[in-house]
Amino acid sequence: MRRMMLKSKIHDARVRETNIEYQGSLTLDETLMKESDMAPYEQVHVYNISNGERFTTYLIKGARDTGIVGVNGAAARKAKVGDRLIIAAYGIMEEDESDFYMPSIIIVDEDNRIQKVSS
């Protein structure tokens, strides 16, 4: 049996911008993407801690070391600047792979700078 498992998560990311006119996606600082093993155009689930909204979208690479987290397109209605987000990516694994697998968990500060990495 194969299982859908949490691959990586960025916890407490702060929305820095929203753009309803953009055609979709979540803009994410390249450094955060790299550290969390997330890739451009990868599907992510976004959980808005501030208002309880949840949505699924894909990532686009933002400028490195800027702390950018931008919610774009229709999802911009589900977040506002300053909201706190959990950004999660999942992967499919064989059951025996999942026994000892540990996801990459990134905790960021209010400027979206990495404070702690665990995996």
Q: Which residues are catalytic?
A: 25, 58
Contact 101, 5 (CB under 8 A): yes
